[in-house]
């Protein structure tokens, strides 16, 4: 769709929006390149839940587990860490580098509030295993119905 503007020229607002979108994407790509790992890509995580807890696995190869910062506030779990760049030898250079390096922060919304005293985290073979127990007061409770049978 084109609109004629004073002076006899034509203006395409949708073309302008597409141009702005391309520029924003280019800037975002450049920013991610400077900042390190894209939070949307790393770390990959899986989460599932039941009545008592939420369980998570998070892929963190080559991340030092002692440098991970895991916090839970209300219903948000935040994971912070860093993956160091691999040191190359004197005559070595990358042909392909798909694994990002640098600092990352990733937050996850939890389906319930967590009993922070009972949270456990274990790191094995590059995978972080988290158990996030539901607070007792937030667990589903069955309500008994009293009936007058007389």
Please give the full DSSP string across 33-49, using - where no structure is assigned: HHH-S-TTTSS-EEEEE
Q: How confident is the model at residue 31 (pLDDT cuts 50, 70, 90)?
A: low
Q: How confident is the model at residue 78 (pLDDT cuts 50, 70, 90)?
A: very high
Task: Report the distance separating Cα 117 and Cα 52, nearest Å.
Answer: 14
Question: What's the N-to-C CA distance of the chain in angstroms?
Answer: 77
Burial of 41-73, coded b for 16+ CB within 10 Å and e otherwise, reads: ebbebebeeeeebbebebebeebeeeebebebe
Asked whether the CA dihedral 131, 67, 97, 27 is positive or negative, the reply is positive
Mean pLDDT value across the chain:
83
| Residue 108 pLDDT exceeds 80 | yes
Considering the chain, what percentage of its residues have pLDDT values greater than 90?
40
Least confident segment among 40-44, 81-85, 129-133: 40-44
Whole-number CA gyration radius for the chain: 25
Helix ranges (H only) for the chain are 13-35
Give CA separation, 65 vs 18, 39, 40, 124, in Å: 43, 18, 20, 9
Asked whether the CA dihedral 100, 43, 78, 63 is positive or negative, the reply is negative
Strand duo 76-83 + 3-5: pairing: unpaired
Asked whether the CA dihedral 78, 122, 114, 53 is positive or negative, the reply is positive
| Residue 38 pLDDT exceeds 70 | no
């Amino acid at each position: 769709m084109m609109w004629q503007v004073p002076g006899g020229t034509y203006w395409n607002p949708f073309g302008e929006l597409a141009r702005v979108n391309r520029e924003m994407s280019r800037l975002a790509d450049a920013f991610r390149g400077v900042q390190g790992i894209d939070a949307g890509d790393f770390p990959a995580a899986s989460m599932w839940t039941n009545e008592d807890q939420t369980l998570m696995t998070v892929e963190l190869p080559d991340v030092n587990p002692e440098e991970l910062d895991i916090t839970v506030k209300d219903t948000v779990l935040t994971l912070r860490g860093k993956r160091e760049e691999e040191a190359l030898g004197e005559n070595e250079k990358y042909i392909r580098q798909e694994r990002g390096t640098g600092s990352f922060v990733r937050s996850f919304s939890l389906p319930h509030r967590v009993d922070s005293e009972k949270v456990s985290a274990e790191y094995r073979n590059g995978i972080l295993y988290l158990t996030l127990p539901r607070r007792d007061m937030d667990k589903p409770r069955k309500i008994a119905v009293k009936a007058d049978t007389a």
